Amino acid sequence: MPDSKSLKQSKKAAESPGAPSPANSIVKNHPLKRRQVQSFEETIPTAISIVPERSKNAFEDQSKLLRRSNDLLLHSSTEALLEMLKAYSGLKECDESTVAHISAILQELYVRVKDAKGSWRGAVLGALYGLVEASASKILLLVAGIVLAMNVSGSNLTGACKLVFKIARNESNDTLFMDSDVPELLVDGLGRASPIDDSEACIYGYGAVRFLTGSSNASSTATANATEAGDHGQQRSLAVRLAKRGLCQLMVLHLKMINDIASTTQLSGSPLHALFQLSGALRTLAGNRCIVGSRVCPLSDQMHQQHAVATGRPTAAEQDDVQDVAQLEQAVPLLVRAAEMCIKEPEVQANIIRTLSVLSERPECCERLAVAASRLGILLGSIVQTCQTVEKGLATCNRLGYILGNVMSRWDTARIQFHCCDVSCDALLATLEYYANKSFTMKNQMGDSIAQVLTKLIRIVANMCVNGDVGYGMSKRAPLGEILLNILLKVKDAKTAELEELLFATLGALHNLSYYYEPVDLEGTCHSAHPGSIGERMRDICGTLCAILNSDQNPARSEVARVLGNMTRNASIRQTFCAENGMKILKSCLTSEHDELMVTSCGVLVNMLGDWSSRVPFREIDGPIILRRLLRKGVDNRDWIMAGIACQAVWNYLIDTSDMLATLGQTEIDLICEALAEGLDEDSLFGDKEPDNFWDDFAPVATDLLERLQICMSNGNSPCESSDEEIG
């Protein structure tokens, strides 16, 4: 029989994902969803399963018969084995004994045909074809293994991949894969396929890989076995076995091939489906906890470390990890390019970006993404422009925001690169503005919401502004101030966890932006703020923040005080703060039961007391008494941050006073001096131990304040020469 005899007709058994069609959705034509076993009765029995109705003696007789049958198979010719298989041609349902007998024939045939070549391959394929409709997964897997072992290509390879895919869909079959060579043979088979010319084989092959690498059973079994047997447990993980066979390298190669074609021709049909499955398989492989740096349990990791210390050389597993990481790094720019070329295929693009979001969690891959940060920003803007509805773009924007957030939190080069690319910055701000004008509670079918997307996008801005130059530049960029103010107004009374998270993200961005904002440049020139920028809307933002700070039940009050601590360095904002009844709001915060709120609010007070006009209102709300109590609490609790900032506030309050006794009062002066002296008693506080760093920061400020109080009082309450120096 000629070698062209194929398993192509096995698509009935493989439940084909469907041929390419002009339908808009690629995913809906490929139902590659994994089926779960619903009950123990659905589990496929093995060849030696015990049927409850049979007696123990009957089972022993059956075992003897199977052993005798296996001995006979060992001495049978290959032609005889094929004739035995042909006798079962067209078989569908079968009992345990039949499954055991056919499995024994197939196992013997596998040993004989593995890596062999000859004219009889057509006869073998013909005999195997009659079994592809069998209901037993064990038989189907053995059939697929034999076909793959013969190094087939073309339609025969496609048929084998369909069989493997069909079996891999059911998670209960993972144990069958663990006890076979099919995972390795599948990688070898995909290595003989082209994602362009043999795209159907890649569709089913990578679909199977996605199920096998995402197997929870394989991972748990690998961990358990690794605990008992060290490195041997790695062999039980399907993901590790696939990776060791070169799956990562193969995926990178196939991505290069697809990108090369897509650079000159619009991808469509089966190659596009192959890219979809390839990116999904790469995502599950990268996300598998048994791959790259976490292949084995902590016990085995400890053994590897001990081995490395003892021998001075990395273990074989560590060397494999390095190789896998290198391959995953190479996949990053290829996936970014593929996402750019799939701009007209939103579902494929979304799948690729999901893979990049998983890779962004790995530091090595995140570094490669940092190089492409500005391109990802441009991609973000294109998604909003091309999506037909608001809901359809949510998932992709959510994941792109997550990727860029990870990148900006780690790499300063990415912050600078992104900021220097006007197209990227404009795309980010346009996307922010687009979603900020929608209902924050809107969600898609997968649960991605407007609030989640905005949170991720705002974190990009916040992480970018960690860099001083970027923060200064972004504070002058329109319409960022307008956007953040609108979001702040909508979430200031957040009622849900999502909106509360968005509130905190917005405050984080405002904190970084306000820290670097300067209305006057280094040469002393005052520039008018751009309409809609942070500088132009800062007064309105300050008013909104005061309203939040005045809300006793708002959990974001401490964060609001931090932002106001930056803003009130500006004289015009201090005026706005006073106009919003800010001093009375501060009194409420400074007398609260929350230490963090007391400290951050005192930071605002330090700035406010730098203005003479703020000191009278401060005295009217019993400010000196509040500060003395705050200082005493800090000293008593050894909270040197609290004590230190209270000292700074007292210093600024007394900065240009001509009558300290009238300004503070003798009682308050004595109590403050007592607290300062106690806080500076190093021997009493620490004994023979070294003081901590926080006390080291507190001590100079406290010493200066104590000396000033003592000198001024000893000089008859006359002004001190050092009183013109402001602490802030």
- CB crowding 235-247: b at 16 or more within 10 Å, else e: ebbbbbbbbbbbb
Average pLDDT over residues 435-455: 93
480 and 592 in a single domain? The answer is: yes
The pLDDT score that the predictor gives to residue 11 is 39
The pLDDT score that the predictor gives to residue 445 is 87
In this prediction the pTM is: 0.80
pLDDT in tens, 119-164: 678 889 889 988 999 999 999 999 999 999 999 999 999 999 999 9
pLDDT in tens, 249-285: 999 999 999 999 999 998 899 999 999 999 999 999 9
Residue 631 has φ and ψ, to the nearest 5°, of -65, -45
Cα 497 from chain centre: 19
For the packed helices 571-579 and 595-608, what is the interaxial angle rounded to 10 degrees?
A: 120
Q: Residues 463, 464, 469, 475: is their CA dihedral positive or negative?
A: negative
Number of H helices, E strands in the chain: 38, 0
348 and 417 in a single domain? The answer is: yes
Report the percent of the chain where pLDDT is more than 90.
56
Whether the Cβ atoms of residue 702 and residue 651 lie closer than 8 Å to each other: no
Residue 535 has pLDDT above 50, yes or no: yes
608 and 481 in a single domain? The answer is: yes
**HSE (side-chain half, CA atoms, 13 Å) at 314:** 9
Q: How far is CA 169 from CA 13, 91, 100, 173, 280, in A?
A: 13, 22, 23, 8, 14
Residues 6+ apart with CB under 8 A from 275: 195, 258, 267, 338, 342, 348, 352
Residue 24 has pLDDT above 50, yes or no: no
Q: How far is CA 549 from CA 84, 237, 374, 593, in A?
A: 83, 54, 37, 15
Average pLDDT over residues 453-480: 95
In a domain, 455, yes or no: yes
Residues 6+ apart with CB under 8 A from 437: 486
Residue 233 has pLDDT above 70, yes or no: no
520 forms beta bridges with: 526
Residue 567 has φ and ψ, to the nearest 5°, of -65, -40
Residue 611 has pLDDT above 80, yes or no: yes
489 and 409 in a single domain? The answer is: no
425 and 492 in a single domain? The answer is: no
In a domain, 513, yes or no: yes
The pLDDT score that the predictor gives to residue 194 is 95
Is residue 22 reached through a cis peptide bond, with omega within 30 degrees of 0 on the bond before it? no
| Final residue before a domain boundary, out of 621, 639, 666 | 621
Query: Nearest CA to 375 among 400, 349, 347?
Result: 400
In a domain, 265, yes or no: no
Cα 245 from chain centre: 27
In a domain, 221, yes or no: no
Whether the Cβ atoms of residue 154 and residue 4 lie closer than 8 Å to each other: no
In a domain, 12, yes or no: no
Residue 534 has pLDDT above 70, yes or no: yes
In a domain, 556, yes or no: yes
- Out of 209-213, 244-248, 301-305, pick the least confident: 301-305
Whether the Cβ atoms of residue 555 and residue 495 lie closer than 8 Å to each other: no
In a domain, 208, yes or no: no
Q: Which residues constitute the domain of residue 354? A: 327-434+451-463
Average pLDDT in the chain: 82
**HSE (side-chain half, CA atoms, 13 Å) at 692:** 7
The pLDDT score that the predictor gives to residue 69 is 57
The pLDDT score that the predictor gives to residue 679 is 94
568 and 511 in a single domain? The answer is: yes
For the chain, give the longest Cα–Cα distance: 119
| Final residue before a domain boundary, out of 572, 597, 621 | 621
170 forms beta bridges with: 35
Token pair 């990108």 is found at: 259
Residue 46 has pLDDT above 50, yes or no: no
Tell me the one-letter amino acid at 585.
I
571 and 537 in a single domain? The answer is: yes
603 and 639 in a single domain? The answer is: no
Tell me the one-letter amino acid at 444.
N
Per the document, the length of the chain is 728
367 and 504 in a single domain? The answer is: no
- CATH number where 502 lies: 1.25.10.10
Whether the Cβ atoms of residue 308 and residue 239 lie closer than 8 Å to each other: no
642 and 568 in a single domain? The answer is: no
In a domain, 143, yes or no: no
Token digits for 651? Answer: 């210093």
Average pLDDT over residues 350-370: 93
| Final residue before a domain boundary, out of 567, 591, 621 | 621
471 and 607 in a single domain? The answer is: yes
Residue 66 has pLDDT above 80, yes or no: no
How many distinct structural domains can be found in the chain? 3
Residues 6+ apart with CB under 8 A from 595: 639, 642
Which band of pLDDT confidence, cut at 50, 70 and 90, is reported for residue 118?
low
The pLDDT score that the predictor gives to residue 37 is 39
Whether the Cβ atoms of residue 145 and residue 137 lie closer than 8 Å to each other: no
355 and 389 in a single domain? The answer is: yes
State the burial class of residue 263 (Cβ atoms within 10 Å of its Cβ: 0-12, 13-18, 19+): exposed
The pLDDT score that the predictor gives to residue 710 is 87
Residue 42 has pLDDT above 70, yes or no: no
